Every structure is written in structure tokens, then in C-alpha cells.
Chain A
Amino acid sequence: MVLVLCQACTNNIELYVNSDPTPVVYCLLNPLEDTQYVRVGRSFNLPSGESDKAISPDSLSWSTEPEVYIEEWEDDDPVRLIIFKRSDITRRDSGLFPVSGLDVYRAEFKPVPGKEYHLFVYFEGLDKIVSAETIVMSAPEVLDPYNVPGRTISFDTISPYYLRWSGGDYPGLYQGLFKMNYSETINDNTVYESCYFKTPVYRKQSVSEIFEERVNGLNFLKSVADQLDDAPGIKREVINFEFIFYSTGSDLSILVGGDLNEGNPFSIIRNSSNIYGGSGVFSSMVIQKVTNLEASLTTKYFLATSQLTKDLGFIYEGQ
């Protein structure tokens, strides 16, 4: 009896098991755009010991083309059907999109903020269906920065910057990106470059008239110092700033909420998905831009003289 029991036990754990691939579906509806995209891929297992091998594009896409469609719902009933067609374009929404290996589907329609949408991806031959639902967020209004004649953006260490926006309905995650355009001259050759300064990700769950977030000017200088290298004889001059504001719907906010609060033991939700029958995400996203923002003289002064950036060759008018 003892011998039989001992033989039944084994210390070998099978780390890699063959399983059916799972559909991976991403769709972020943009209420400001006329074209919407759905990305369809599939999960895969690498055989044991082959994790350093390049992934074959065939591993990521399905051999059978699925039917991809979205239903617009009103009062608990579908009122509109939008069929997606396979797209060959390489310019797509944000994210990593290889030229081959991932299938992207597109449809021409503009989602209506506040309306409910149901996404379906149906693999007829494989008897698989993937579904998800979301309510489209309304586009936020960026209040600050705002382009006013004579107004400048100031990232100095005395006056902090404040981002302000009105969230609209179904708020989720927000992140700002300041793009600093500058010229770079070395040996009479001038080129135009840009560097980026991103704000933290702000998670908003309540509807508010105006959200306000403080941006530390010292972090701007640190960010510039991290991105640029000094070179003997180089002269850099700030041209202007652009502000790019990313907003996502409440569904995406819940899914990545765990990652944002990593370290808080009460909010760890990782590797989750609002896609039924697969993984991925179905939510909404808006990207807005405020261009041609003038840099303040103190921003230029601090770039030229602060301990963090004084060796990067920035010049200002007073020099």
C-alpha cells in the first residue's frame, strides 16, 4: 500500500502545457475620430527552452478570418450594426503594431459619448466568440494649457504648473505629455529636435467640473537632463511647447488601476480583462493637442543655468 502511494507521487512539475490559443482583442473607441479600429491577435505558448527565439508572425494571428462587428445599443436593445473590415494600413492607433503578424480591422463610424457599444469577434470555423461592452466616454476639455497671446508656459522651480481640464462623463485615466521643440546647432549645422516630459497618470472616478493637477518644474528639468546628452560646442534653443492629452474611459481605468497603485495591497488587479471569451480591452480613448505654446523666459533661463541642465548648451535671450 505504501509503495503504491509513493509511486503515485512525483516531484516533476510541468511548466509548459499545450492549450488552445486564446483570442486577444483590443479596441479603444475614439469619439473624436471617424475611423475606429479593432486589433485581433491570439495568445501562444513558447515551447520549453525556446523563450529567446523570435516569435513567428504566424503565432500571433488566426488562420481563419473572424467576423468583427460592433452593436450600438439604446434602451437595452441593439439599434445599429457596424461591420469591421480587415485593414492593411500600417498607421494605427497608439500601441505596438508590427507590420505583419497582428490583424487590424477598421470601420468608418463616430461613436457617440454616453452610448453603450457591444463588440463581437466571431471565429466561425473554430466555434469561438469573443464579446465585450463599454460606454463611450465624453471628450474632456483641456482648460490649461490654453493658447492666449502673450501667455507662456513656465517650468521654473518657483512657480509650479497646473494642468486643468473638465472631465465629462465616464472619466477614467488621464495623462499629459509636454513636447518641447528646440533647435540644436553644432558647427553651423542646425537641426530641429524635440524631447518629452510626461506627467503622472491621473485616475479620476468622479465627475467633476474642473480637475486640477500640479506639475513640478524641477521634474521637467530632470526629464530634459535624462533625455539629452551634452556635446562640446552645442547650442540649443527652445522654440515652443506642444501639449498632448491622453484620456481613457472608465473600463480601462479599472483594468490598469492595479498597476497604477502597485504597492497598495488593497488594489492589485493585474492581468484582468473586460473581454469575455478572450483577453484584451474594449474601452474608449481620446487624444487632444494644444500646439504652439510659448516657453517663458524663466524656463529658458533655468534650462541654461540649473545644475541639472547647464551643460546641455541651452541659451536664452539674456545671454
Chain B
Amino acid sequence: MRKSAYQIINIIVIAFIISIIDACSPGEGIDPVENTENLDYGRVQLEFPVDDAHVPLRCIKRADLSISYTADSLYRKEYITVVNVSDYKNLYEVVLEPGTYYYQAGKTCICGRDTCLWGGYPGGQNGMKWTMGFFEITSGKIIYDRIKFD
């Protein structure tokens, strides 16, 4: 009985020390995205592939992924967020309140000569291909969509 009481006290002391050490780790400050685990928000995962039939992969760069409340807001450039796209990330997750959202995605081709023109990029080098779509956010749910370029 006495031994088990010591063990419990030991566990409490160790847990206390760990909580103090953990509390001291340097952080970045308030992060609104971390606070969206509650059920008032939902998540969308947008897969942004950059494969093109006629253009080498190294030539294509993700350029834009912007989200708006309505389709015409996209046209007016009234975005609620512009996702930071990268050449090293295929899947983008955004936390949003429930509702319908519209997105536009753009990719560009940076290679010279006729490579980009042959791949259907308007104007060739640095030309952009655009697409758009929509998704529905539900509280506490994660939905997935794959961005398609015609």
C-alpha cells in the first residue's frame, strides 16, 4: 500500500515536471488555424496536380490557388484567402466555416522555345492555364477535391 502511494506521487511529480518543461518550449504565438479543431469549422483538401501530357514536369509551376465565397467574387478578385502554393506540395488543406466556396487554380510553364506553346499554355513561356471549381464545407468534416485542368 505504501509502495503504491510512492509510485502515484512519483507519477504526479514527473507529470508536473514534464508539463513545466513543455510550457517553456518557444512558440510562434497565436495561431488561428490551430484553434479550428472545434466543430464550427470544416476542412477542404485540394489536390493540385501539375502533370501535363506534352510538357516536362520541371517546366510547370503552381502559381495560384485562391478561394472566394462566390464565383463572381473570383472574377472580381475578392478572395477570402490566397493559398501559398509550392512546387514541393501537392495537397493543400484549408480550414473554413461551413458553406459553399469557389476556387480558382493557376499553373504556369517556365521553359523556353516551343515547349510551353506545345503544351497548350497561351503565349508559350510564362503562359498560364486556369481552372475553377467549388466545394461545400460541413462542420467537423474533411472533404477532398482534385483540381482538374482541361
Contact = CB atoms under 8 A, between A and B. Distances in A.
Given A151-B64, A317-B77, A156 B28 contact: no
Given A143-B86, A149-B110, A149-B126, A158 B64 contact: no
Nearest to B29: A219
A210 B88 contact: yes
B33 A160 contact: yes
A159 B77 CA distance: 17
Nearest to B80: A158
Nearest to B65: A159
Interface in A128-147: 143-144, 146
Contact of A218 (B30, B81, B110): B30
B96 interface: yes
Contacts of B62: 148, 151
Given A219-B29, A264-B24, A153 B84 contact: yes
Contact of A297 (B33, B77, B86, B126): B77
B30 A297 contact: no
Interface in B77-98: 77-89, 94-96
Interface size class of A (residues with CB under 8 A): 35 or more
B77 A150 contact: no
Contacts of B79: 296-298, 301
Given A150-B63, A150-B64, A264-B24, A157 B32 contact: yes
Given A143-B87, A149-B63, A150-B106, A159 B21 contact: no
Interface string A190-222: 000000000010000000001000111011001
B88 A154 contact: no
A148 B88 CA distance: 13
A200 B26 contact: yes
Interface in B110-150: 110, 126, 128
A95 interface: no
B72 interface: no
A202 B33 CA distance: 21
Best-buried of B25, B31, B79, B86 by chain A (most CB within 10 Å): B86
A175 interface: no
Interface string A163-181: 0100000000000000000
A232 interface: no
Contacts of A148: 61-63, 87, 108, 110
B108 A263 contact: no
Nearest to A154: B82
A174 to B, nearest CB: 15
B64 A162 contact: no
A105 to B, nearest CB: 36
Interface in A287-307: 296-299, 301
A263 B84 contact: no
Given A143-B88, A148-B63, A149-B110, A159 B82 contact: yes
B18 to A, nearest CB: 12
Interface of A: 143-144, 146, 148-154, 156-162, 164, 200, 210, 214-216, 218-219, 222, 260-261, 263-265, 296-299, 301, 317-318
Interface of B: 21, 24-26, 28-33, 61-64, 66, 76-89, 94-96, 106, 108, 110, 126, 128
30 contacts: A144-B88, A146-B86, A148-B62, A149-B63, A149-B126, A150-B64, A150-B106, A151-B63, A152-B82, A154-B82, A154-B83, A154-B84, A158-B80, A158-B94, A159-B83, A162-B84, A210-B88, A215-B28, A219-B29, A222-B29, A260-B26, A261-B26, A263-B24, A263-B25, A263-B26, A264-B25, A297-B79, A298-B81, A317-B77, A318-B78
